[in-house]
Amino acid sequence: MKNIFKFYQKAFLKGIVLVLILAMTITSCEKNIDLEPYNQVSETAAFQTAPLIALTVTGMYEAAQIGYYANPVDPAYRGFPFGAAFVQQGDNRGEDVVNVATFYQLTYTATYSTTSANNVNYWKDTYRLINRCNIVVDGVRKAATANVISPALAEEYEGEARLLRAMAYHELLVLFARPYKHTAAGSHPGVPYHEKPFTTQAAIDEGFATGRSTVAEVYAKIIADLDYAESKLPLKATRVGNQKLTRGTKGAAVAEKTRVYLHMWDMDKVITEGTKFISGSLAGTYSLTADPSGPFTSPYSNTESIFGMESSATVNPGVNAALASQYGRRQLVCMSPIIWRNPSWLTDDKRRAEGAMITSTTAGVKFTNKYKDQTNYTDPSPMIRYAEVLLNMAEAYARKGDVTNGLSYLNMVRNRALATPATQAYTATSFANNVALLGAILIERRIEFVMEGRRWPDIHRLQQCPHFPIDGIPAKLANGMPAGTLFALGTPYTGALGTVAVPYSDFRFVWPIPQDELNANPTLAAQQNPGW
Identify the domain containing residue 201 by its residue range.
1-77+116-233+508-532
Cα 191 to Cα 214: distance, rounded to the nearest angstrom:
7
- For residue 286, being part of any structural domain is answered with no
pLDDT at 33 exceeding the cut of 90: no
Backbone φ and ψ of 354, nearest 5°: -65, 130
- For residue 413, being part of any structural domain is answered with no
The answer to whether the CB of 495 falls within 8 A of the CB of 487 is no
The answer to whether the CB of 206 falls within 8 A of the CB of 523 is no
Question: What number is the average pLDDT over the span 408-415?
Answer: 98
Backbone φ and ψ of 30, nearest 5°: -150, 140
- Cα angle 409, 466, 437; round to 5: 30
Which CATH number does the domain housing residue 220 bear? 1.25.40.890
- 62-118 pLDDT per residue, tens: 999 988 776 666 667 789 999 999 999 999 999 999 999 999 999 999 999 999 999
- 143-196 pLDDT per residue, tens: 999 999 999 999 999 999 999 999 999 999 999 999 999 999 999 999 999 999
Q: Over the range 48-81, which residues count as b (16 or more CB within 10 Å of their CB) and which as e?
A: eeeebbebbbebbbbbbbbbbbbeeeeebbbbbb
Cα 414 to Cα 292: distance, rounded to the nearest angstrom:
9
pLDDT at 37 exceeding the cut of 50: no
pLDDT classification of 32: cutoffs 50, 70, 90? very low
Question: Worst-scoring range by mean pLDDT, 16-30, 233-247, 344-358?
Answer: 16-30
pLDDT at 210 exceeding the cut of 70: yes
- For residue 361, being part of any structural domain is answered with no
Predicted local distance difference test score (pLDDT) of residue 4: 24
pLDDT at 222 exceeding the cut of 60: yes
Cα 145 to Cα 148: distance, rounded to the nearest angstrom:
8
- For residue 415, being part of any structural domain is answered with no
- For residue 391, being part of any structural domain is answered with no
Predicted local distance difference test score (pLDDT) of residue 411: 98
Predicted local distance difference test score (pLDDT) of residue 1: 28
The answer to whether the CB of 125 falls within 8 A of the CB of 68 is yes
- 442-496 pLDDT per residue, tens: 999 999 999 999 999 999 999 999 999 999 999 999 999 999 999 999 999 999 9
Tell me whether residue 336 is exposed, middle or buried, using C-beta atoms within 10 angstroms of its C-beta: 0 to 12, 13 to 18, 19 or more: buried
- For residue 187, being part of any structural domain is answered with yes
Measure Cα distances from 368 to 78, 141, 211, 328, 335 in Å.
20, 44, 41, 7, 7
- 344-388 pLDDT per residue, tens: 999 999 999 999 999 999 999 999 999 999 999 999 999 999 999
Number of structural domains in the chain:
1
DSSP-assigned letters across all residues of 338-401 = HHHT-TTS-TT-GGG-BTTTEEE-TT--EEE-S---TTT--PPEEEEEHHHHHHHHHHHHHHTT
Measure Cα distances from 77 to 71, 85, 128, 196 in Å.
10, 10, 13, 26
Question: What number is the average pLDDT over the span 220-232?
Answer: 99
CA nearest to 270, candidates 168, 449, 405: 405
Three-state secondary structure call for residue 499: strand
What's the DSSP call for residue 485? G
CA nearest to 450, candidates 360, 351, 384: 351
- For residue 202, being part of any structural domain is answered with yes
pLDDT at 55 exceeding the cut of 80: yes
Cα 123 to Cα 72: distance, rounded to the nearest angstrom:
18
Question: What number is the average pLDDT over the span 312-336?
Answer: 96
Predicted local distance difference test score (pLDDT) of residue 72: 60
Predicted local distance difference test score (pLDDT) of residue 205: 84
pLDDT at 337 exceeding the cut of 90: yes
Q: What is the pTM of this model?
A: 0.92
- For residue 29, being part of any structural domain is answered with yes
HSE (CB half, 13 Å, CA atoms) of 345? 25
The proportion of the chain whose per-residue pLDDT surpasses 90, expressed as a percent, equals: 87
Q: How many CB atoms lie within 10 A of CB 531?
A: 11
